[in-house]
């Protein structure tokens, strides 16, 4: 088993300068490795090897011990306002809204490239002077004057430094061909949108690692991570060790607060409860009376749908070929937004007039229909855009972003004056409803949508108004 090196934040007793101190059980191999690196010094005052507390040095330490030891950072990020690990939680624990978004300068896309047998990371961005000014100030980045690009050597340490230092300023996107298995880097990318104030708590790495190791869907990981991050940051005066001691009472109180302050839907509250219960059950392995964690009663609401005429008006407002093809594809095949993002050119089966959906919700494959008008759009789209990996790719390659698709639809709905506005899932609901109204058997609709249960599909029988239009009210038979 690998030795554990604990990183602790310490202030020098004389200068008050902040240091990262290294603590570990006696281990000659670890000591020899440290002494070979002269940038790590031994402090008699702190009684430990240490380095100045900077993001750069943290990245160096993680790289140095990567294959040698396990790095434990729980004491590095522990709030200085809490000094005891055995704080007794008594009385009501009232949560607050703990996450704040931070505005970014712009978006950076990281790509990989090999030159003369050596791997590099290339930074792509929109031609904005402000971006170049900021990148010019980072001394460890290189600049290729001929190609006019910033780049750096491809290594785990450099990648960590890049996302850790720049994610506070820029929105960092990673090209889909770059596979990242490092949990710490993944965690930074997931949390880059949030303001890291003094009491901010990052999601425990073990929680993310558990979900990745068990092959949870990417959307599920992002959803659970978001709700659990909100939960632990709703208690800014407590550290994660204190929150680990919570019971069902504190968790239920937190969800009551969400309901009171935000009017959260039952779906959101239940997702939050599931995310929190997963942590206490699988990571802490604690008896927290999980059965006592209250799940919100699900509202019985009907999905919103647009009429055929409204769908036509919305698509007519989209001039951009790629955007029009994406929205047409979602509606005509009844796709989820994540499914249209994952499509590849070979998933369009022209001869069979079908679309192949791979590893959708529930890790299931299925086929759905391909409309003739959508195929006509696709033929033009293929000739103009020539997609490489994914059917719909972003400006710098990789999957087209969910936020961009939603923005396209939102603007088209606004221009078409269709009311009320709903999201991309309304296109899917409309697809199912229109098939039902055209006389398609409910079992076939279930298969096209990829529903596991027929009960999920039956909801559209309550939305369709074809049969309702044939029913006359008894009042129409009364003379008055």
Which class does domain 102-193 fall in?
Answer: alpha beta
What ranges make up the beta strands (E) of 266-353?
A: 348-349
Q: Quick one: average pLDDT of 323-328?
A: 94
What pLDDT is stored for residue 211 in this prediction? 94
The two structure tokens encoding residue 400: 């087209």
pLDDT of amino acid 305: 84
Report whether the peptide linkage leading into residue 353 is cis, meaning its omega lies within 30 degrees of zero. no
* Alpha-carbon distance values, 124 to 153, 400, 434 (Å): 15, 16, 43
Cα(459)–Cα(456) distance, integer angstroms: 6
Would you please indicate which residues are annotated as catalytic (active-site) residues?
336, 361, 425, 428, 451, 460
Taking the C-alpha atoms of residue 447 and residue 452, their distance in angstroms, rounded to an integer, is 8
- Tens of pLDDT, residue by residue over 92-113, are 556 777 788 888 888 898 988 8
From 348, 421, 443, select the one nearest 391 (Cα to Cα). 348
Give burial (CB, 10 Å; 0-12/13-18/19+) of 274. middle
pLDDT of residue 79 exceeding 50, the answer is no
Segment 266-294, tens digit of pLDDT? 778 888 989 999 999 899 988 666 556 65
Could you give the CA distance from residue 232 to residue 225 in angstroms, rounded to a whole number? Answer: 11
DSSP letter for 476, please: G
Fold of 308-466: hpI Integrase; Chain A (1.10.443)
pLDDT digits (tens, 9 = 90+) for 167-187: 888 999 888 778 888 898 999
Whether residue 313 has pLDDT greater than 90: yes
Which residues are CB-contacts of 299 (< 8 A; sequence separation ≥ 6)? 265, 266
Structure tokens of 444? Answer: 């076939």
Query: What is residue 84's predicted lDDT score, i.e. its pLDDT?
Result: 35
User: Which residues make Cβ contacts (< 8 Å) with residue 43, sequence separation at least 6?
Assistant: 12, 19, 21, 49, 50
Query: Which residue in 22, 57, 65, 59 sits closest to 42, CA to CA?
Result: 22
Residue-wise pLDDT for 148-157, tens only, equals: 899 999 988 8
Residue 202: DSSP 8-state: P
For residue 259, give Cα distances in angstroms to 1, 236, 249, 274, 376. Answer: 45, 19, 15, 16, 47
Q: What is the pLDDT of residue 123?
A: 93
C-alpha torsion angle, residues 420, 426, 431, 436 (rounded to 10):
-70
CA–CA separation, 449 and 143 (whole Å): 49
**Which residues are within 8 A (CB) of 235 and not within 5 positions of it... i.e. 6 or more apart?**
93, 95, 96, 98, 242, 243
> What gap in Å lies between CA 388 and CA 363, rounded to an integer?
24
Q: Where along the chain do its domains lie?
A: 4-72, 102-193, 199-301, 308-466
105 vs 458, more confident: 105
Task: Report the mean per-residue pLDDT for the chain.
Answer: 83
pLDDT band at 249 (very low <50, low <70, confident <90, very high): confident
Please give the DSSP secondary-structure letter assigned to residue 125.
-
Question: What is the rounded distance in angstroms from the CA atom of residue 69 to the CA atom of residue 2?
Answer: 5
Top-level class of domain 199-301: mainly alpha
Q: How many CA atoms lie within 13 A of 67 on its CB side?
A: 1
Residue 354 bridge partners (DSSP)? 349, 369
Residue 89, pLDDT > 70, answer: no
Our measurement of the distance from residue 247's CA atom to the centroid of its chain's CA atoms, rounded to an integer in Å, reads 27
Q: Which of 7-11, 173-177, 317-321, 394-398 has the highest mean pLDDT?
A: 317-321
Question: Is 204 in contact with 168 (CB distance < 8 Å)?
Answer: no
Residue 437: its pLDDT value, please? 83
Residue scoring higher pLDDT (330 or 93): 330
* pLDDT tens string 386-414: 988 899 988 767 788 888 899 999 999 99
């Amino acid at each position: 088993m690998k030795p554990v090196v604990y990183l602790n934040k310490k202030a020098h007793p004389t200068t008050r300068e902040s240091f990262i101190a290294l603590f570990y059980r006696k281990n000659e191999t670890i000591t020899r490795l440290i002494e070979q690196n002269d940038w790590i010094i031994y402090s008699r005052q702190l009684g430990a090897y240490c380095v100045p507390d900077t993001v750069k040095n943290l990245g160096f330490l993680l790289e140095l011990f990567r294959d040698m030891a396990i790095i434990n950072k729980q004491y590095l990020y522990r709030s200085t306002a809490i000094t005891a690990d055995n704080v007794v939680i008594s009385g009501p624990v009232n949560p607050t809204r703990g996450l704040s978004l931070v505005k970014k300068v712009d978006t950076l896309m990281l790509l990989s490239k090999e030159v003369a047998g050596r791997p590099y990371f290339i930074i792509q961005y929109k031609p904005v002077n402000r971006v170049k000014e900021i990148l010019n100030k980072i001394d460890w980045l290189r600049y290729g004057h001929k190609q006019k690009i910033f780049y750096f050597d491809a290594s785990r340490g450099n990648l960590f430094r890049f996302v850790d230092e720049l994610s506070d300023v820029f929105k960092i996107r990673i090209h889909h061909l770059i596979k990242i298995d490092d949990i710490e880097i993944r965690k930074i990318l997931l949390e880059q949108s949030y303001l890291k104030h003094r009491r901010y708590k990052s999601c425990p790495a073990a929680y993310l690692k558990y979900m990745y190791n068990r092959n949870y869907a990417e959307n599920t990981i992002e959803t659970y991570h978001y709700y659990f991050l909100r939960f632990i940051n709703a208690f800014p005066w407590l550290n994660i060790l204190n929150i680990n001691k919570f019971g069902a009472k504190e968790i239920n109180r937190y969800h009551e607060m969400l309901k009171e302050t935000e009017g959260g839907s039952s779906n959101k509250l239940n997702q939050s409860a599931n995310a929190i219960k997963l942590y206490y059950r699988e990571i802490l392995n604690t008896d927290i009376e999980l059965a006592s964690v209250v799940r919100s009663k699900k509202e019985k609401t009907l999905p919103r749908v647009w009429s055929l005429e409204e769908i036509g008006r919305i698509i007519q407002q989209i001039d951009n070929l790629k955007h029009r093809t994406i929205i047409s594809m979602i509606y005509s095949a009844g796709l989820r937004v994540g499914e249209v993002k994952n499509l590849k050119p070979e998933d369009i089966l022209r001869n069979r007039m079908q679309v192949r959906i791979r590893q959708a919700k529930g890790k299931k494959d299925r086929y759905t229909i391909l409309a003739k008008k959508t195929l006509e759009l696709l033929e033009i789209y293929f000739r103009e855009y020539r997609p490489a990996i994914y059917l719909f790719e972003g400006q710098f390659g990789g999957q087209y972003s969910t936020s961009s698709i939603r923005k396209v639809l939102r603007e088209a709905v606004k221009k078409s004056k269709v009311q009320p506005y709903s999201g991309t899932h309304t296109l899917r609901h409309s697809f199912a409803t229109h098939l039902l109204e055209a006389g398609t058997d409910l079992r076939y609709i279930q298969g096209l949508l990829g529903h596991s249960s027929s009960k999920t599909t039956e909801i559209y029988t309550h939305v369709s108004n074809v049969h309702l239009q044939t029913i006359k009210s008894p009042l129409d038979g009364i003379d008055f």
